[in-house]
C-alpha cells in the first residue's frame, strides 16, 4: 500500500494493483499475502522457483482461481469492469492442439469478449484477427489446421489471439517456454512494441539468464512476494538467493548470472 | 423381405414414419451434441447420466401407474439432474478423481434403477409390461405422440447448440482463456450437461439407457476422422447418428422384438471402424500408406547415394552390380532387389545385362541426397561442435528430411563449403552426368 501510494505520487499510473492476495488449494496456501503495484508501460517479469505460485498468481488476477482473501484492481477498477482491457495468454500446453479448428478461428477467439454472445464475427473482427496474425508473422498460416503447427507457431498463435483482444494490460504465462530461438526473438520484439504502444505486459518467465535483458521490471515470488521493482534495483544476487532459497543447482545459476550481468551488480553497489 | 424393405424405406405405414422420424432425430441430436461432449472430454458423463435416468423412469411409473411418455420423461429428467448434482457435490467435497466419481454415480443410480425395475415387474401392476424396454430400447414401440415430444426436445437441444456455438467451442478448446474473457465456463458446462440429460431422456425409449452413450460418443469420434473443422464435424456426426438411428429402427422393425439399442450400436461401430481405417489423412490406412511411402523414399535415396559413392570411388565405373551395392552398404537382399525394380520402373536407373546404370533423373537425385548428407555433416561439425567422427549417423537421418528451403539456408550459412568433415567433395552441379 505504502509503496504504491508513493509511486502514485511520482505521477505514474498503476496498471495492476494486487492487495494482500492469498490463494489456497484445500487449506494449503500457494500464494501468501502478495502485495504489489505494477506501473503502466512496463515489461514486467514474474520469476521464482517451480511451485512458487507464478501461474497461480496470474490465474488469480484473471479470476480463474478464487482468492482466499485479497483484492485485485486493474487501472484502479475491479477486473469485471475492465475485463476487455486485459488479455491473458495461458500456457501453450494447457490446450489440446488436435482440436478441429484452424489458426484464424483461434485468433478470432480473441474477439469473442468484444463481440458479445450471439453475434457472428464481423469485418472489423476479421481485420483485427488478420492484423494480429501479421504482427506475429503467421498471416500465411491463417487457414492452417492448428494440429499442424510447431511449438513455436502455437505460441505465436496464442499471442496473436491476445493481440486481437486489443487490451491495455497483457498477462502471459511462460510465452518463452519451449520455443525456438527465432520465435523467442520475435516474441521479445512483439513485447517491446506493445510497451512502445503504451501497454503493460506481465510475463511469467523461467529463464533467469534472460530476465535482466528482456524486462525492465520484476516480481520475485516464492509463495510470498520476495521483492518487486525496477529490474536494476530489484534483480540482485541477494534477492535471487532469497527467492530460490537454498537450492544448490539454482545457486550455481545465480553465480553464473552474477558474472554475466556484472553491470547490474555494479549499479547496485553505487551509493543511493 | 423386399416388400417389407420397400414399405419401410418409403415410409408407407404411419407407425414406420413415427419410428423412423424418432430415431433419426435422436441420432442427429445425439451426434451433434456428442461432438461437444467428446471435445470437452466429457464422453463418460453421457454414459453416467444415461444409466442414472433409470430410477427416475421407474419411480415415475410406480407413482403414476402409467407409461405416458411425458411423465416418464419428467422422471428421467429429475433423476438425471439429481445424478449430475451428486457428481458435482462429490467432486467438490472429496479428493476423488473424476472417473471414480462418474463410475460411482453411474453404478449406484443404475443399481437402484434395476432394483426398482425388478420390483415393478414382480408387483403385477397391469401396465408394467414393456418397461424393461427402457434398458435396451425398442424403437418400434414409439407412437406419434412420443415423436412429437421428442421432436420438440431434440429441436430445442439443436437450437441451443447453434445459438451457443461460439462459447461452447471456446470452452471446449481453451476453458482458461474462455473464462479470462468473461465467459462463465461453469455455466456452459452446466448447459452442456442439461442438454445431455435432455437428449438422453429422448433416447431412452429408442435405444435404452445402457447403450445410449454409444450414440453420443461414437458418431462424434467417427466424424473427427474425416474433418478438421468443428462445424463439419458436428454435421457429419449428426448424419452418422441419424444413419445409425435409421438402421437401428429398421432392424427393430424387421425383426420384431429385437431391441433397437444394440442395432444402433452395431451400426455406429461399423461407421466408426470404416472411418478409422479409411478416412483420408487421419485414418489408419492413410497413415500406413504414408509410412510405407516414406520408407520407400528413404530406401530409394539410400540406394542412389550408394551408387553415387561407388561412382565416386572409381569414376570410370558406370555399371553397378547387386554385388557392388551390397559390398558398399548393407541392404536386405530382397528389399534391395525390390527397390531397384522400382527405380528402373520410375526411371531413376536403367538395367543393363550385367548391372545398373544411372539415368539422368537418378543421377540428379543421387547428387542431391549426397550433397544434403555432407552439408548437414559440415553444419553439425562447424555450428554444433560435433566431433567429425560423430556427424555421419545424424546426417543419415537428416538427409531425408531437409527441404529445399532449408538446404538453401544451409548453403548460405555455411558459405557453400566444398568438402564435408571427412574431406569428401560436396557435389553441387546436378547436370554433370557421366551417364549416357
pLDDT in tens, B182-232: 899 999 999 999 999 888 888 887 888 888 888 999 999 999 999 999 999
Give the count of Cβ contacts less than 8 A between chain A and B: 70
Whether B217 and B247 have beta carbons less than 8 Å apart is answered as no
A75-84, A205-214, B255-264, B295-304: least confident range = B255-264
> Contact B176/A100, CB-based, under 8 Å?
no
Tell me the average pLDDT across B402-408. 84
> Contact B39/A145, CB-based, under 8 Å?
no
> Contact B174/A83, CB-based, under 8 Å?
no
How many residues comprise chain B?
436
What would the grid cell of residue B284 be? 489408419
| Whether the predicted model's global pTM rises above the 0.90 cut | no
> Contact A113/B233, CB-based, under 8 Å?
no
Q: How confident is the model at residue A57 (pLDDT cuts 50, 70, 90)?
A: very high
Higher pLDDT, B339 or B149: B339
Instruction: Answer yes or no: is pLDDT of A246 > 80.
Output: no
pLDDT for B275:
96
For chain B, what are the domain ranges? 2-282, 288-414
> Contact A90/B174, CB-based, under 8 Å?
yes
Mean of pLDDT over chain B: 87
DSSP B84-144: HHHHHHHHHHS---HHHHHHHHHHHHHHHHHHHHHHHHHHT-GGGTTTTHHHH--GGG--H
A190-194, B171-175, B190-194, B431-435: least confident range = B431-435
The string over B83-109, giving b where at least 16 C-beta atoms fall within 10 Å of a residue's C-beta and e elsewhere, is bbebbbebbeeeeeeeeebbebbbeeb
Using CA atoms, how far apart are residues B102 and A25, in angstroms rounded to an integer? Answer: 23
Least Cα distance to A217 among A205, A202, A195 occurs for A202
**B28-44 pLDDT per residue, tens:** 999 999 999 999 988 88
What would the grid cell of residue A74 be? 486493474
Which residues in chain B touch residue A145, judged by CB atoms under 8 angstroms apart? 228
What would the grid cell of residue A40 be? 503502466
Residues facing A19 on adjacent strands: A71
Q: B183 to chain A, minimum CA–CA distance in Å?
A: 8
Instruction: Answer yes or no: is pLDDT of B140 > 90.
Output: no
Q: Does A79 touch chain B (CB under 8 A)?
A: no
- At the topology level of CATH, where does B288-414 sit? Arc Repressor Mutant, subunit A (1.10.10)
Site from A101, A121, A150, A154 to mutate, B interface, most B CB atoms within 10 angstroms? A101
Q: For residue B185, give the chain A residue with the closest CA.
A: A64
- At the topology level of CATH, where does B2-282 sit? ABC transporter involved in vitamin B12 uptake, BtuC (1.10.3470)
> Contact A95/B167, CB-based, under 8 Å?
no
Tell me the average pLDDT across B368-392. 86
- Which residues of chain B have a Cβ shorter than 8 Å from any chain A Cβ? 39, 95, 163-164, 166-167, 169-170, 172-174, 176-183, 224, 227-230, 233
Higher pLDDT, A60 or B91: A60
Q: For residue B233, give the chain A residue with the closest CA.
A: A100
Which residues in chain A touch residue B222, judged by CB atoms under 8 angstroms apart? none
Does the interface predicted TM-score (ipTM) exceed 0.90?
Answer: no
A171-185, A208-222, B247-261, B398-412: least confident range = B247-261
pLDDT for A248:
42
**B343-371 pLDDT per residue, tens:** 999 999 998 888 898 999 999 999 999 99
Site from B95, B171, B180 to mutate, A interface, most A CB atoms within 10 angstroms? B180
Using CA atoms, how far apart are residues A217 and A235, in angstroms rounded to an integer? Answer: 9
In this structure, the strands spanning A200-204 and A217-222 are unpaired
Under DSSP, the state recorded for A118 is: S
Q: For residue A56, give the chain B residue with the closest CA.
A: B176
Helix axis angle for B185-207 and B260-278, nearest 10°, is 120
Which residues in chain B touch residue A169, judged by CB atoms under 8 angstroms apart? none
Instruction: Answer yes or no: is pLDDT of A266 > 70.
Output: no
pLDDT for B174:
95
Residue found by looking up cell 511462460 in the block: A174
> Contact B182/A113, CB-based, under 8 Å?
yes
Amino acid at each position: 500500500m505504502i509503496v504504491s501510494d508513493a509511486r502514485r505520487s511520482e505521477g505514474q499510473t498503476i496498471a495492476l494493483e494486487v492487495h494482500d492476495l492469498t490463494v489456497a488449494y484445500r487449506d494449503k496456501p500457494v500464494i501468501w499475502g502478495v502485495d504489489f503495484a505494477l506501473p503502466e508501460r512496463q515489461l514486467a517479469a514474474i520469476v521464482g522457483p517451480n511451485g512458487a505460485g507464478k501461474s497461480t498468481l496470474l490465474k488469480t488476477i484473471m479470476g480463474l482461481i478464487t482468492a482466499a482473501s485479497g483484492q485485485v484492481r486493474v487501472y484502479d477498477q475491479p477486473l469485471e469492469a475492465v475485463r476487455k482491457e486485459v488479455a491473458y495468454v495461458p500456457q501453450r500446453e494447457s490446450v489440446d492442439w488436435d482440436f478441429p479448428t484452424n489458426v484464424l478461428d483461434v485468433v478470432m477467439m480473441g474477439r469473442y469478449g468484444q463481440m458479445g454472445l450471439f453475434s457472428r464475427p464481423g469485418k472489423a473482427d476479421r481485420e483485427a484477427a488478420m492484423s494480429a496474425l501479421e504482427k506475429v508473422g503467421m498471416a500465411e498460416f491463417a487457414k492452417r489446421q492448428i494440429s499442424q503447427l510447431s511449438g513455436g507457431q502455437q505460441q505465436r498463435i496464442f499471442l496473436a489471439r491476445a493481440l486481437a483482444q486489443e487490451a491495455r494490460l497483457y498477462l502471459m504465462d511462460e510465452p518463452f517456454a519451449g520455443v525456438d530461438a527465432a520465435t523467442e526473438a520475435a516474441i521479445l520484439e512483439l513485447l517491446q512494441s506493445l510497451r512502445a504502444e503504451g501497454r503493460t505486459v506481465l510475463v511469467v518467465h523461467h529463464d533467469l539468464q534472460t530476465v535482466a535483458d528482456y524486462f525492465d521490471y520484476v516480481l520475485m515470488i516464492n509463495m510470498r512476494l520476495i521483492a518487486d521493482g525496477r529490474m536494476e534495483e530489484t534483480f540482485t544476487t541477494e534477492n535471487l538467493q532469497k527467492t530460490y532459497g537454498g537450492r544448490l543447482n539454482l545457486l550455481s545459476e545465480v553465480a553464473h548470472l552474477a558474472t554475466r550481468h556484472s553491470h547490474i551488480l555494479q549499479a547496485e553497489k553505487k551509493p543511493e | 423381405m423386399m416388400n417389407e424393405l420397400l414399405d419401410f424405406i418409403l415410409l408407407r405405414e404411419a407407425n414406420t414414419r413415427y419410428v423412423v422420424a424418432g430415431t433419426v432425430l435422436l441420432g442427429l441430436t445425439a451426434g451433434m451434441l456428442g461432438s461437444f461432449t467428446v471435445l470437452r472430454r466429457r464422453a463418460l458423463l453421457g454414459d453416467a447420466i444415461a444409466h442414472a435416468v433409470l430410477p427416475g423412469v421407474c419411480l415415475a411409473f410406480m407413482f403414476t401407474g402409467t407409461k405416458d411418455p411425458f411423465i416418464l420423461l419428467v422422471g428421467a429428467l429429475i433423476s438425471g439432474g439429481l445424478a449430475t448434482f451428486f457428481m458435482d457435490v462429490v467432486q467438490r467435497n472429496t479428493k476423488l478423481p473424476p472417473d471414480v466419481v462418474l463410475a460411482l454415480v453411474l453404478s449406484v443410480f443404475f443399481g437402484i434403477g434395476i432394483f426398482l425395475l425388478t420390483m415393478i415387474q414382480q408387483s403385477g401392476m397391469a401396465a408394467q409390461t414393456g418397461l424393461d424396454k427402457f434398458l435396451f430400447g425398442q424403437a418400434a414401440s414409439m407412437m406419434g405422440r412420443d415423436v412429437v415430444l421428442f421432436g420438440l426436445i431434440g429441436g430445442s437441444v439443436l437450437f441451443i447448440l447453434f445459438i451457443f456455438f461460439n462459447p461452447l467451442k471456446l470452452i471446449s478448446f481453451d476453458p482458461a482463456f474462455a473464462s479470462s474473457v468473461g465467459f462463465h465456463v461453469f455455466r456452459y458446462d452446466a448447459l452442456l450437461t442439461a442438454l445431455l440429460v435432455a437428449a438422453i431422456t429422448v433416447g431412452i425409449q429408442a435405444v435404452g439407457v445402457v447403450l445410449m452413450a454409444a450414440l453420443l460418443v461414437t458418431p462424434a469420434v467417427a466424424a473427427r476422422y474425416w474433418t478438421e473443422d468443428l462445424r463439419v464435424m458436428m454435421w457429419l456426426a449428426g448424419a452418422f447418428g441419424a444413419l445409425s438411428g435409421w438402421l437401428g429402427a429398421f432392424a427393430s422393425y424387421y425383426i420384431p422384438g429385437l431391441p433397437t439399442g444394440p442395432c444402433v450400436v452395431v451400426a455406429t461401430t461399423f461407421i466408426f471402424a470404416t472411418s478409422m481405417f479409411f478416412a483420408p489423412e487421419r485414418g489408419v490406412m492413410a497413415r500406413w500408406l504414408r509410412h510405407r511411402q516414406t520408407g520407400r523414399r528413404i530406401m530409394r535415396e539410400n540406394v542412389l547415394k550408394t551408387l553415387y559413392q561407388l561412382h565416386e570411388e572409381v569414376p570410370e565405373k558406370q555399371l553397378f552390380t547387386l554385388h557392388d551395392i551390397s559390398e558398399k552398404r548393407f541392404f536386405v537382399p530382397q528389399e534391395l532387389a525390390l527397390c531397384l525394380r522400382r527405380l528402373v520402373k520410375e526411371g531413376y536407373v536403367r538395367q543393363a545385362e550385367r548391372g545398373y546404370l544411372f539415368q539422368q533423373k537418378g543421377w540428379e537425385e543421387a547428387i542431391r541426397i549426397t550433397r544434403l548428407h555432407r552439408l548437414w555433416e559440415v553444419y553439425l561439425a562447424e555450428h554444433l561442435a560435433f566431433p567429425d567422427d560423430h556427424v555421419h549417423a545424424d546426417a543419415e537421418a537428416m538427409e531425408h528430411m531437409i527441404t529445399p528451403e532449408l538446404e538453401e539456408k544451409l548453403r548460405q550459412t555455411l558459405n557453400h563449403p566444398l568438402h564435408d568433415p571427412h574431406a569428401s567433395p560436396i557435389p553441387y552441379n546436378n547436370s554433370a552426368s557421366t551417364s549416357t
